[in-house]
Structure 1
Amino acid sequence: MLFFATAAAHASLPPMGMLAPFIVLLLCIALMPLIAVHFWERHYPKVAVALGLVTAAYYAFVQQDWHPLHHAAQEYVSFMALVGSLFIISGGISIRVKGEATPLVNTLFLLIGALLANLIGTTGASMLLIRPWIKMNRFRITGFHIVFFIFIISNVGGCLTPIGDPPLFLGFLRGVPFFWVLQHCWPAGLLALTLLLATFFILDARNFYRIPKHIRDKETANEEWHFGGLLNLAWLCVVIAAVLLPKSLQETALLGVFSVPALVMIAASVASYFTTKPAVHEANDFNFGPVKEVGFLFIGIFLTMIPALQILQSGEAVEISSPLQYYFTTGALSAFLDNAPTYLSFLAAALGQQHLSVESHGDVLRFAAEHTGHLVAISLGAVFFGAGSYIGNGPNFMVKAIAEKSKVNAPSFLAYMYRYSIPILLPILIIVGWVMVKSAP
């Protein structure tokens, strides 16, 4: 490790041209599903890995500095161990529901899903709950049911723990204490959830009471819930316990890459998969497609963002300074690019302005203590605005795909924005920012 530290200390700042692979990859993630969907479905692994290898080659042969690549590999394995284990374990729990839900039941369901997202991640909660959500509303489901599910469960709800949303887990890996997010972000999370749930309840009540009363009474009678694969709750507890292992074990790594928590998570996911009855997986239409996509894309993201992080942490690339500016700037990019690297990029920029390094756990811990408002702004901007479009956060497109497979008319990419995220979500997030972030220390 001394070699890596020494090499990192003397490495020169990469040229601006080395940002190109990162920018190209993010643009591909944002645009290719819209303009060349079939090409992207077939070749995204090659594109992501190839762009990542361009950056890896620069550090290996030009900079001759292996430390950034080693660090990226460690973070990638930890990241994928968490995301993958939560996806696999939640895929082994099935929820079946009979009967039609009332507006109050729907609102409570979304609230419970938002809280659950902090324990199993927004991806896990979305994959676990989207099918029962569609079934319990099958008699009157519309586009806004899918959109508010994405707003609340796939994004905003996961703002309270590092497990909740990928950006926050990346911050945890960099040194943000596990309970820091809950301690400092819960007021803004509570306000955002309250406004979103209240708006949903009003819209859903209008939808519900348009139906003739005798049909409403018939459809909402004899509501029944059935649960399967509950053994997987134990495996979820194992994953959560792994995240909370002592720092000494967090820093112990097999082959320099596989941390003890990552190995525990991988073991829990393997055990979950083989102890879950095939009927449960079939009921959930479980397959590894979504986690495979995340895995390949993030190989490219973790490698190509190394130059961006180094340039941003120099403190010279970003001129914004106030928490409110960070909130909206991080949010604007998170709505149309992947919110995880966006979070890490602005965290690096904010640290760089204080002459601190995102590579140092001590510096990140110091920043979290001394510049709480800035870190709250970056965290909330990344998590909340990830709901701004289908491409802001991984679960968004997954939910849309499952809805369409279930014959639900989910809004198109543009309709999602001009009918929902711009007129409904954006004003709520502006209120949250103005009330909670503007006055942050």
Structure 2
Amino acid sequence: MILLAAASSHAALPPMGMVAPFALLLLCIALMPLFAAHFWEHHYPKVAIGLGLVTAAYYIFVQKDWHPLHHAGHEYVSFMALVGSLFVISGGINIRVKGEATPVVNTLFLLIGAVLANLIGTTGASMLMIRPWIKMNKYRITGLHIVFFIFVISNVGGALTPIGDPPLFLGFLRGVPFWWVLEHCWQAWALAVGLLLAVFYAMDSVNFRRAPKEVRELETAHEDWFFRGLLNVVWLAIVLGSVFLPKNIQETTVLGIFSVPALIMFAAAAASYFTTKKEVHESNDFNFGPVKEVGFLFIGIFLTMIPALQILQSGEAVKIDTPMQYYFSTGALSAFLDNAPTYLSFLAASMGHEQLSVDSSTDVLKFAAEHAGHLIAISLGAVFFGAGSYIGNGPNFMVKAIADKSKVHAPSFLAYMYRYSIPILLPVLIVVGWVMVK
């Protein structure tokens, strides 16, 4: 059970009312695309930056403290450097494929995507693989294929590394060791991915048997796969290598905001963009729209969540006792709000109960060592439940948009939930939580 308590009694904490811009921004992200899509499409940068400036003004003119803003700026740049560079580089690799969409091949494709998501992020893997996925299933593709692609590649698959999903990268920036998630969450990842792939294989087998004979023959005909833009693998390796630079180099910054790894990532992205042939970008329908949207929205998120994190880490805002409660509480919000700030909010709350600060890498490291069960629950809840709706994680809507453009029937917002995420995904995640979260 979550209990909200007044935090204003602590002089150093912002008043509870300063959480309003954060809550309002998350509600806008969740609801505006559904009820005011035209307005949101044209004005979301103004809304996000405007609400962020409200919080910035509070710290500048009321608290007279620049440190939280400086810290948020540093994290924002590091976050966008990773997400943006992986998006640009994956957009420079083109995969062309025809046929071979048997249930076995489809299931293997999803498994490969789940592993790849940990190397180039769920956004990068989704953008790289969704078009080949549509093409190889073009004779019998249904909403089933789009939804399970979102389940496995756009969300659940990316639970093993900080590169895999934005929530985990925020934890890495705060001090969670890079290999911590792989060490502690691989069994839950294997169970979740395995269950989802088993369900998909059974459902896709039914879909395949129902297809006309001539379609089945086309689907099983051998076709060649073609890869273009493989130079981008070099730029990808540079981005991944920058994450493992010695700590003293990682902590070196320019203007106190631009870390050395971030600068390397930006440079690799620029090199990828200018060395990739135009026809490869055109084949991928590459444009900066999705990453621009993420950039503007997260300016607002990183600024407006400062008061929320400070209140949460005081230990009084959220009262949850067990890892299972953290798993489902984090998951419930991650399914309908952006899972990155949800992860950080519950991490701050859990650490606050132990009188630890999410702003201290030493405290985060201590929390990861002494309260692994809670961190596992928060990590899995944020990543896995991000597949609960189209608005749970950034790649979800991006995949739907590409499917719609390709004339593939993707379920509506409500149909996605009542036909797939509630009857299929939720029972799987309940089993994973019951077995793995202690």
Q: Secondary structure at the match of 1:224?
A: coil
Matched residues in 1 for 2:215 and 2:63: separation?
A: 70
1:206-285 matches, cutoff 5 A: 206-285=206-285
Counterpart of 1:52 in structure 2 is 52
Counterpart of 1:138 in structure 2 is 138
Counterpart of 1:3 in structure 2 is none
Do the aligned partners of residues 255 and 418 (structure 1) sit closer, same or farther apart at CA in structure 2, a change above 3 Å counting? same
Structure 1's consecutive aligned runs of 4 or more residues displaced over 3 angstroms after TM superposition are 212-215
Deviations 1:160-216 (A, max 9, x none): 000000000000000000000000000000000000000000000000011233441
Q: Secondary structure at the match of 1:98?
A: coil
Matched residues in 2 for 1:218 and 1:349: separation?
A: 54
Letter in 1 for 2:263: L
Counterpart of 1:6 in structure 2 is none
Whether 1:399 aligns to 2:399 is yes
Counterpart of 1:361 in structure 2 is 361
Shift of 1:219: 3.5
1:286-325 matches, cutoff 5 A: 286-325=286-325
Stretches of structure 2 lacking an aligned partner (at least 5 in a row): 1-9
Letter in 2 for 1:418: Y
1:153-232 matches, cutoff 5 A: 153-232=153-232
- The percent of aligned pairs where both chains have the same amino acid is 80
Matched residues in 2 for 1:144 and 1:109: separation?
A: 15
Matched residues in 1 for 2:56 and 2:332: separation?
A: 29
Shift of 1:223: 1.7
Counterpart contact for 2:139–2:215, Cα < 8 Å: no
Shift of 1:250: 1.1
Matched residues in 1 for 2:24 and 2:144: separation?
A: 32
Deviations 1:24-78 (A, max 9, x none): 0000000000000000000000000000000000001100011100000000000
Whether 1:27 aligns to 2:3 is no
Counterpart contact for 2:92–2:281, Cα < 8 Å: yes
Counterpart contact for 1:89–1:273, Cα < 8 Å: yes
Matched residues in 1 for 2:279 and 2:161: separation?
A: 32
Shift of 1:11: 7.5
Whether 1:419 aligns to 2:419 is yes
* Higher mean displacement: 22-31 or 212-221: 212-221
Shift of 1:305: 0.1
Counterpart of 2:124 in structure 1 is 124
Matched residues in 2 for 1:66 and 1:305: separation?
A: 15
Q: Secondary structure at the match of 1:382?
A: helix
Letter in 2 for 1:113: G
Matched residues in 1 for 2:47 and 2:189: separation?
A: 36
Counterpart of 1:42 in structure 2 is 42
Matched residues in 1 for 2:346 and 2:436: separation?
A: 19
Counterpart contact for 1:387–1:393, Cα < 8 Å: yes
Matched residues in 1 for 2:215 and 2:336: separation?
A: 41
Matched residues in 2 for 1:424 and 1:222: separation?
A: 32
Q: Secondary structure at the match of 1:282?
A: helix
User: Size of the alignment, in residue pairs?
Assistant: 429
1:35-114 matches, cutoff 5 A: 35-114=35-114
Deviations 1:214-234 (A, max 9, x none): 441233213221100000011
Matched residues in 2 for 1:425 and 1:343: separation?
A: 20
Q: Secondary structure at the match of 2:387?
A: coil
Counterpart of 1:381 in structure 2 is 381
Q: Secondary structure at the match of 1:227?
A: strand
Counterpart of 1:432 in structure 2 is 432
Deviations 1:408-437 (A, max 9, x none): 010000000000000000000000000000
* Higher mean displacement: 244-253 or 418-427: 244-253
Matched residues in 1 for 2:163 and 2:325: separation?
A: 26
Shift of 1:98: 1.5
Counterpart contact for 1:11–1:65, Cα < 8 Å: no
Counterpart contact for 1:118–1:159, Cα < 8 Å: yes
Counterpart contact for 2:142–2:408, Cα < 8 Å: yes
Letter in 2 for 1:350: S
Do the aligned partners of residues 142 and 215 (structure 1) sit closer, same or farther apart at CA in structure 2, a change above 3 Å counting? closer
Letter in 2 for 1:332: A
Shift of 1:362: 0.1
Matched residues in 1 for 2:174 and 2:11: separation?
A: 20
Matched residues in 2 for 1:239 and 1:291: separation?
A: 17
Counterpart contact for 2:14–2:307, Cα < 8 Å: yes
Shift of 1:85: 0.1
Q: Secondary structure at the match of 1:209?
A: helix
Letter in 1 for 2:188: A
Matched residues in 2 for 1:315 and 1:218: separation?
A: 60
Stretches of structure 1 lacking an aligned partner (at least 5 in a row): 1-9
Q: Secondary structure at the match of 1:316?
A: coil
Matched residues in 2 for 1:170 and 1:244: separation?
A: 16
Counterpart contact for 2:327–2:381, Cα < 8 Å: yes
Matched residues in 2 for 1:381 and 1:49: separation?
A: 28
Matched residues in 2 for 1:209 and 1:245: separation?
A: 51
Counterpart contact for 2:102–2:219, Cα < 8 Å: no
Q: Secondary structure at the match of 1:95?
A: strand
Matched residues in 2 for 1:295 and 1:338: separation?
A: 14
Q: Secondary structure at the match of 2:388?
A: coil
Matched residues in 1 for 2:213 and 2:378: separation?
A: 47
Counterpart contact for 2:126–2:399, Cα < 8 Å: yes
Letter in 1 for 2:53: L
Do the aligned partners of residues 118 and 406 (structure 1) sit closer, same or farther apart at CA in structure 2, a change above 3 Å counting? same
